[in-house]
Amino acid sequence: MDGQRSIQEDGAVAIKGDTILAVGSRREIESNYASEQTIDAHGNLVMPGFINGHTHVPMTLFRGLHDDVTLDDWLRKYIFPAEAKNVTEEFVRWGTRLAAAEQIRFGVTTFADMYYFEDAVAEETKAAGMRGVLGETWIDFPAPDNKNEAAMMSYTEAFLKKWQGDPLIHASVAPHSIYTCSQKTLQDASSLARKYHAPILIHVAEMKKERDDSEKKNGMSPVQYLDKLGVLGPDVLAAHCIFVDARDQKTLADRRVGCVHNPSSNMMLASGVSPVPDMRAAGVAVGLGTDGPAGSNNDLDLMEEMDLAAKLAKITKMDPLALNAKAVVEMATIDGAKALHMEKEIGSLEAGKKADLIVIALDTPNADPMYEPYAQLAYALKGSDVQTVIIGGKMVMRDRKLLTIDEPSVIAKAHEYKKRVAASLGMQ
């Protein structure tokens, strides 16, 4: 997948440092470049790494905790109390390590995250060799890391300063949503982000209740309210965007806001279906996310999201052409990069871009026969088919072996945390 979305048979990629030098035929690359190391991907598929546009990675340690409830109940009755009793910096570190192992195995090379102790998320993400757009969450009640507004501001500003210019980590500010943040919090968060030229991550129009409450309280939709406050802009990544009408979609496009579609999450919580075909037609850059990985989606497999995104659009529009295989692959790669405002760096295999690429095995029963690669990617291949992962020119997984994470120790620690969390909530 290069800039023209072409498919190169018997192709090759030349990499120097963290950057792609050239993409072309194997003969051309071998003739023009002398290599110190060669990865033989013959017979397999080489493509850009996947971009997971919306996650809360430390929540892997809450995987499977209280499923099958509404989003509002899940947050207020279960997750917020569980977080208050369990989330520490150590918890966040181990949860991030577990999520990094899972995402690398599924071919994710970049992810956007919103959580607490986000500096710890950044340190563990960098240690794993992953690329992250990582937002410190702002919320109008005492959080596990910051108990008041002054602490929240101080922590976030130090976080933004620390990671400025890092090649892998894009420190961000993440006001949670309009239903957990006051007008002042939303405006203070966006002002701080813009002071440091940092991204803004936020949940937008995820629930019908959120939309209805906003119209009752503010006299307008969540999108129009955020626009009125001056929050929306070309540095914003808006997760979900389910309840967005034509006017909202135009506003999002005009403000160059990136949006992230989270099909598994929205299905699991019965939140609704984002009008992705309409948003794309309106000019909105829409990427894909897993959300979760607890309660709203219990895994971080972006290939599953591609499949679901296409099929959800088809059934809601009653049109098999509503969102095709190529479109959802683009949403997981170059369109995801556009949503994150990073399309000049990642999302396709082009000279000058970061060397973030994956090798997918094609010698499996579900991969053969292959007539059309985009359709195979969207509807047949699985995250478990990813064989090798390179991020910034460095291998983080080769032949299914993780190279930057001690997987057995991470899994053992996850088992320990399961017992701690269950005990804290009085679960048998």
Q: How many whole angstroms separate alpha carbon 328 and alpha carbon 286?
A: 10
Look up residue 240 and give its two tokens.
């979900």
SS3 416: helix
Confidence at residue 425, expressed as pLDDT on a 0 to 100 scale: 87
Residue 409 in tokens:
């120790």
What pLDDT shows up at residue 69?
A: 83
pLDDT for position 6: 82
Which of the four pLDDT bands, split at 50, 70 and 90, describes residue 254? very high
Give percent of the chain above pLDDT 90: 90
Q: Does residue 428 register a pLDDT over 70?
A: no
Percentage of the chain with pLDDT > 70?
Answer: 99
1 band by pLDDT with thresholds 50, 70 and 90: low
Read off the pLDDT band of 38 (50, 70, 90): very high
Distance in angstroms (rounded) separating the CA atoms of residues 378 and 385 = 13
What value, to the nearest 5°, has the Cα angle with vertex 275 and ends 385 and 288? Answer: 30
Whether 353 contacts 20, CB under 8 Å: yes
- pTM beyond 0.95, yes or no: yes
8 A C-beta contact, residue 60 and residue 293:
yes
The CATH number of 50-339 is which of 3.40.640.10, 3.40.50.300, 3.20.20.140, 1.10.1740.10?
3.20.20.140
- Read off the pLDDT band of 383 (50, 70, 90): very high
Q: Per-residue pLDDT tens for 203-218?
A: 999 999 999 999 999 9
Give the 3-state secondary structure of residue 241. Answer: coil
Predicted local confidence at residue 148, as pLDDT:
92
Mean pLDDT of 246-261: 99
Looking at the DSSP bridge assignments, the partners of residue 46 are 359
DSSP alpha helices (H): ranges in 274-347?
276-281, 302-317, 325-331, 334-339
Report the chain's terminal Cα–Cα distance, integer Å.
Answer: 49
Work out the mean pLDDT of the chain and round it to a whole number: 96
Assess whether pLDDT exceeds 80 at residue 400. yes
Q: In the chain, which segments carry CATH 3.20.20.140?
A: 50-339
Numbered ranges of CATH 2.30.40.10 in the chain: 11-47+347-391
- Name the CATH topology of 11-47+347-391: Urease, subunit C; domain 1 (2.30.40)
- What would the two tokens of residue 428 be? 């048998």
Please report the pLDDT score of residue 261 as a whole number.
99
Burial of 284 (0-12, 13-18, 19+ CB in 10 A): buried
Mean pLDDT of 329-343: 98
Position 229 pLDDT exceeds 70: yes
Q: Which two tokens stand for residue 135?
A: 């937002």
* Maximum distance among all Cα pairs of the chain, rounded to whole angstroms: 66
pLDDT confidence of 172, banded at 50, 70, 90? Answer: very high
pLDDT tens digits for 53-110? 999 999 999 998 888 888 788 878 888 888 999 999 999 999 999 999 999 999 999 9
Is a pLDDT exceeding 90 seen at residue 296?
no
